[in-house]
Amino acid sequence: MTALHAGLGVALGAGSLTALAGLLVPRRARTTVVGAGLAITGAAALLAGIAAMTGRSASFAVPDLLPLFGLLFTVDPLAGVFLAITGGVTVAVGIYGIGYCRGPGDGQGHDHGGLDARGVQAVLPLFVLAMLAVPVAASVGTLLLCWELMALTSLLLVIAEHRRRPTVASAGRWYAVMTQLGLVAILIGLSVFAGHAVDGSFAALRAAAPTLTPAVAALVFVATGIGFGSKAGIVPLHAWLPRAHPEAPSNVSALMSAAMVNLGVYGIVRVGFDLLGDTGAAWWWLLVLGLGALSAIYGILQAAIGTNFKRLLGNSTTENMGLILIGVGAAGFFGTAGDLDLAALALAAALLHLVNHAAFKTLLFTSAGSVVQATGRRDLDELGGLNTGMPATTAAFGVGALAASALPPGAAFVSEWLLLQALIHGLPATGVAGAIVLPLAVAAVALTAGLAVATFVKAFGIGFLAKPRTPEAASATEGPASMLVGMGVAGVACVALALAPTLVLPTIGSVAGATVGAGDPVRIHGLTIELVGTLGATVGSLSPLMLTLALLIGTVLALAGARALATRRAARAARLWDCGGGPLSARMEYTATSFAEPLQRVFDDVLRAEHDVDVSHYDESRYLVQTVEYRRRVPDRIEKRLYDPVLRLVAAWGQAGRKLATGSVHRYLGYGFYTLCGLLVLLVVTR
């Protein structure tokens, strides 16, 4: 009875009990019980995951649960990473949900009801359980089953608020279609794979991998890649993500954005590195890397010019998944080039960024949820000045924004540093392809980092600082304590990851090393992260804690110096400098739209924003302007080019199909009959 077994058992038990509780407990206590249950489930899963990462592994089989196949679960270090992430996120989100689900949710009006309904509260634990089950699934059937369960439960949660906002319904439709298509792709890929193996268990697949022809292997990789990539929100399969995330309740958005999308990455890593082993060709991984770079830049561009608070965070999820896939692709690429140490380093960077992203995205989405719940506004142009009414939430979002913008002392800085180190040291190892791809990859990462800075300066500065732009923003107050506690948990995780990545990095490094079949890529030396190059030489080192301490000392020095030199005059409050005119009103502030305007003009060739300016004049003279109204829309060009034609085609098919449906029962029965005969004939002919 190891910690691993205990953790898994508790997680399963608590999760199922919580689901029941969601159904049975009366409304007053429901969210509390469910939230506590989720927290316990998450904590147990976190422990189990950590135990698994440190090398313990276990297998469970439920032989013939279903007619066709039994369920098969195996917990190995790689699965442990994702167990731990999902568990950690669940703890924070569970506690947060206690208060959040009582509130009006993200509804525009402050009307009550919805999120603490029986359905939502019962499905939430199931969703978590499904997400915990996916990484430990050890056979094709099990994986597909858990995957589908996860997809369905998340879909139900996304449309939880469809009564309040019609937009939710369309978002749900997008999400349903794309996630099901993704499932089909995975199904195809894995069943082709399983067709070449003795049975559907991953062990059999591993054994069969070397026997695959390159074409088949490529088919498997690409098909599953499409499925998993769509779940990770990778361009061009991202269309659902910026729709579903903003429309889902914020605790669900946090779960999806911080835990669920990771499983897409999990799938790619599992299939590419583990199941297909070293049959991988370089172009697979260059494809992954390229799509990752594309998603990173595209996502952060949309985020940088967007003004919808939660949509912006969703786009930033696309960006971070892109960065992670850059790491994964680089790892595979180095692996095919034969430099396993570098591959381990790149994969470790990707996994670390996965952990960091989970932490700060949970924090960002929960605090954004509090803001939206308190103000009922989700447009940055209508927020501002929240630091007076909601100081704790402001601080929380500030920490998250610092972590997300890859600046020291933030969490993402460490992982992006590792990623850049891996890319830079890859140059000598990978020949001409590397010499052409890696600089561009570095440039992509760098551009992403720069735009991320702009994005979160906008989100934090415009959203929380300065003067409130609407009465709702002015009168906003903090939510219940449980929400603050939930944010606090995520915040503490962010700070810990930022200051002491040395605690988690060795484990993650060894997991990555084991996945690609190399040694530990990083060595911890005191407070310092040291990169282990080939021949075990140190090729680079970073110490986030030292850096932060140095910053603190610097601040103290500056303060002391200023105090020492400045003559003691009492500070005086003064009205803002308004050029001597009347007082400045909130309408004179920069809005998110105007803040992003230069970037939008710089990247206009890419974004093709649509503006319309309508100026209305006074009747007396057309030289006297009465009002000027400026609106900007940034259509998703990839959607325009890629999805609209497909949708039109599907619609056309549908129209054609309606001709067959005349409503006569005989005809419908006839269809069945004809098909049956046709099949029989086919059988005869082919045999």
Partner 1 sequence: MLALWRKIRATGRVAEPAPPLPPAGEVPDRVRELRGSVQVRHVDAGSCNGCEVEIGAAFGPVYDADRYGARLVASPRHADALIVTGVVTRNMAQPLRRTYEAVSDPKLVVAVGDCAVDCGLFRGAPGVAGAVSDVVPVDLRIPGCPPRPAAIVEGLRKLTGR
Partner 2 sequence: MSESLFTQLLNLTVGAMLLTAVLTLWWRQLSSIIVIFGLQGIALAATVALIATHEGSAELGVVAVLVLVLRAGVLPWLLRRTLAAAGPNRRETRPLVNVVTSLLVAAGLTLLAYAVAQPLVALDTSPTGHAVPAALAVALTGFFVLVTRRLALSQLVGFLLLDNGITAVGILTTAEIGLVVELGISMDVLLVVLVLQVLKSRIRAAFGRTDIDELRELHD
Partner 3 sequence: MTGLVVVVQLLVVVALSPLLIGMMRQVRARMEGRVGPGIGQPWRDLRKLMRKQPITPDGTSVVFRTAPLVLVATCLVVAAVAPLVSTAALLDPVSDLFAVVALLTLGTVTLALAGIDTGTAFGGLGASRETTIVALVEPTLLVAIFALSVPVGSTNLGAIVGATLADPAQVLSPVSLLAAAALVVVIIAETGRLPVDNPSTHLELTMVHEAMILEYAGPDLALVELAASMRLSLFLGLLANLFLPWGIATGGDPLLIGLAVPALVVKVAALGALLAAAEVFLAKLRLFRVPELLAGSFVMGLLAVGASYFLA
10 Å Cβ neighbour count for 275? 23
634: contact with partner 3 by CB under 8 A: no
Question: If contact means CB under 5 to 8 A according to the sort of partner, which of partner 3, partner 2, partner 1, none does residue 605 touch?
Answer: partner 2
Shorter beta-carbon distance to partner 2: residue 432 or 665: 432
433: contact with partner 3 by CB under 8 A: no
What the block records as the tokens of 373 is 């719940």
Quote the least distance from Cβ 440 to partner 2, whole Å: 8
666: contact with partner 3 by CB under 8 A: no
Question: What part of residues 576-595 is at the interface with partner 1 (CB under 8 A)?
Answer: 577-581
524: contact with partner 3 by CB under 8 A: no
SS3 285: helix
Preceding omega of 236 cis (within 30 degrees of 0): yes
As a whole number of angstroms, the distance between CA 321 and CA 319 comes to 6
Shorter beta-carbon distance to partner 3: residue 58 or 584: 584
The stretch near partner 3 (CB under 8 A) out of 171-179, 219-227, 425-433, 507-515 is: 425-433
Quote the least distance from Cβ 575 to partner 1, whole Å: 7
Residues 6+ apart with CB under 8 A from 382: 375, 469, 470, 472, 473
Shorter beta-carbon distance to partner 1: residue 567 or 664: 567
User: How many residues form the binding site for partner 3 (CB under 8 A)?
Assistant: 82
Residues 6+ apart with CB under 8 A from 426: 330, 333, 334, 339, 342, 346, 434, 438
Shorter beta-carbon distance to partner 1: residue 1 or 579: 579
652: contact with partner 2 by CB under 8 A: no
Contact 202, 276 (CB under 8 A): no
Question: If contact means CB under 5 to 8 A according to the sort of partner, which of partner 1, partner 2, partner 3, none does residue 580 touch?
Answer: partner 1
Helix ranges restricted to H, 196-213: 202-208
446: contact with partner 2 by CB under 8 A: no
Shorter beta-carbon distance to partner 2: residue 111 or 604: 604
Q: What angle do CA 349, 352, 358 make, to 5 degrees?
A: 140
435: contact with partner 2 by CB under 8 A: yes
The stretch near partner 1 (CB under 8 A) out of 411-419, 429-437, 574-582, 652-660 is: 574-582
Quote the least distance from Cβ 602 to partner 2, whole Å: 8
Q: If phi over 0 gives left and psi between -120 and 50 gives alpha, with beta otherwise, what is residue 579?
A: left
Site string for partner 3, 549-588 (x = CB under 8 A): -xxx-xx-xxx--x--xxx-xxxxxxxxxx-----x-x-x
Contact 126, 34 (CB under 8 A): no
Question: What part of residues 438-477 is at the interface with partner 3 (CB under 8 A)?
Answer: 439-440, 442-443, 445-447, 449-451, 453-454, 457-458, 460-462, 465-467
Q: Letter for the amino acid at 604? A: D
Q: For strand 71-75 and strand 58-62, is the pairing parallel, antiparallel, or unpaired?
A: antiparallel
504 backbone dihedrals φ, ψ, rounded to 5°: -95, -25
DSSP, res 663: S
Residues 6+ apart with CB under 8 A from 550: none
What the block records as the tokens of 346 is 């790149």
Residues 6+ apart with CB under 8 A from 499: 409, 544, 545, 548
Quote the least distance from Cβ 442 to partner 1, whole Å: 35
The stretch near partner 2 (CB under 8 A) out of 98-106, 380-388, 431-439, 445-453 is: 431-439
Shorter beta-carbon distance to partner 1: residue 571 or 665: 571
566: contact with partner 1 by CB under 8 A: no
What the block records as the tokens of 534 is 């080939």
Q: Which residues bind partner 2 (CB under 8 A)?
A: 432, 435-436, 605
Q: Which residues bind partner 1 (CB under 8 A)?
A: 569, 572, 574-575, 577-581
